[in-house]
Structure 1
Amino acid sequence: MTASAPWILGLTGGIGSGKSAVAAHFANVGVHQVDSDQVARWVVEPGKPALDAIAVHFGDDILLADGSLNRPLLRERIFDTPDERKWLEALLHPLIREETWRYLAEGTSPYAILVSPLLVESGQWRNVQRVLVVDTPEHLQLQRTALRDGVSEDHVRSIIAIQAKRDDRLRHADDVLINDREPVWLQQEVERLHRFYLTLRGGKP
């Protein structure tokens, strides 16, 4: 990291925790950020080598008629098959990492944010200077996600089960934002954290 490069804050949280809302508030105060989920979509766009490798491995039916990735089918193929999920992660994680750090380095704000639901699981936490975990009680995770995605709470529980355990995320946290109140309060908390982060150098007091 050069003297002019931003230090990197890793932002994570379980499904339905509200990390996207937190990220949006940070963006509103001018903080450069990269969402690893968005990068994961970029690296499998038509014409990218990763998409060709996925089609060879899973078969051409993993592609839609326009040549793009059939994401629901891919999720179905890997959801209950750990070996297939590991194969996909081994293919995509290095590509996602390369693109992610390239975009983060372009930031002009004093710090930049890596938004990643798999910050802990993927080991990305080792490459950031500070970790902010958005935490919320499980019953709120279930309610929010079921309402947002139109799925059952049992389905949400199955997703939670394959993410990092709550205690694992919290163990890696430098800061924890408990998102169990109204949106206005959440925005105020983000602004408070932003003011604090602006006082840091390299993510440290």
Structure 2
Amino acid sequence: MTDAVNKPWILGLTGGIGSGKSAAAERFAELGIHVVDADQAARWVVEPGRPALALLAERFGASLLQADGSLDRAALRTIIFADAEQRRWVERLLHPLIAEAISASLATAQSAYAVFVSPLMIESGQSRITQRLLVIDAPEALRVARTLARDNTSAEQVQAILKAQASREERLRVADDVLVNDGDLASLRAGVERLHLFYLTLRGGQP
């Protein structure tokens, strides 16, 4: 019973592409909070030597692998955003493995609360494992501009990712907290620090 009482509560952190989720998560980590990133878990389950990578290569061919044997993520993205059926197959393969990796990492948290970061928190139902939801928000035009400046990708691919993600309105409707990131990095970091002080006062994610 004592373990259950002392177990850190889980803050879900999400936002659309280019919203600043990673920068926010980085500040939480600097503040001593255990952070689990769904994207990192997704990368880990397809590392060379792991069964999922062999299954992907078997289905889509060796062209999905880079010269060093690692996954060509850009090639996989192109396949799954162009073909909904292939995307569903990949999701059926990877989602249970990713969920397992996330759960294992959250179970090791020692901080007052843990942060679970996922771009598809709402769409995937991952929010079920969280006690509170923080949305990093920014206007779509700004998010697209940031993504194009950051990633080696096309405007068409960014639009395809936007379509696969929940709308801004859907995210805001289910958010417990919203941090607007339409300024500079210092403003975002300061916003995270204010929320952190508030979160330290919560039990189980509730006031």
Shift, 1:110, TM fit: 0.7
Map of 1:121 onto structure 2: 123
Q: Which amino acid aligns with 2:45?
A: V
Shift, 1:108, TM fit: 0.8
Distance 1:154 1:74 in 2: 16
Shift, 1:180, TM fit: 1.0
Q: Which runs of 5+ in 1 are unaligned?
A: none
Q: Which amino acid aligns with 1:126?
A: R
Structure 2 length-normalised TM: 0.93
Q: Which amino acid aligns with 1:63?
A: L
Aligned pairs for 1:1-205 (under 5 A) are: 2-205=4-207
Shift, 1:48, TM fit: 1.0
- Superposition RMSD on alpha carbons, in Å? 1.5
Shift, 1:166, TM fit: 1.0
Shift, 1:204, TM fit: 0.9
The count of residues paired between Structure 1 and Structure 2 equals 205
Contact 2:81/2:160 (8 A) holds in 1:
no
Larger CA deviation: 64-73 vs 134-143: 64-73
Distance 2:59 2:4 in 1: 40
Distance 1:182 1:69 in 2: 33
Cα separation, partners in 2 of 1:99 and 1:183, compared to 1, 3 Å? same
Distance 2:93 2:202 in 1: 35
Cα separation, partners in 2 of 1:154 and 1:44, compared to 1, 3 Å? closer
Q: Identity percentage over the alignment?
A: 57
Structure 1 length-normalised TM: 0.94
Shift, 1:142, TM fit: 1.7
Contact 1:132/1:173 (8 A) holds in 2:
yes
Q: Which amino acid aligns with 2:200?
A: L
Q: Which amino acid aligns with 1:85?
A: R
Distance 1:15 1:5 in 2: 31
Contact 1:13/1:169 (8 A) holds in 2:
yes
Task: After superposition, give the CA deviation of every residue in 1:115-139 in whole Å (9 maximum; x if it has no partner).
Answer: 1011111110111111000010112
Distance 1:120 1:26 in 2: 21
Contact 2:80/2:87 (8 A) holds in 1:
yes
Q: Which amino acid aligns with 1:67?
A: G
Shift, 1:150, TM fit: 4.7
Q: Which amino acid aligns with 1:175?
A: D
Cα separation, partners in 2 of 1:149 and 1:65, compared to 1, 3 Å? closer
Q: Which amino acid aligns with 1:27?
A: A
Task: After superposition, give the CA deviation of every residue in 1:20-59 in whole Å (9 maximum; x if it has no partner).
Answer: 1111111111111011100101001111111121122212
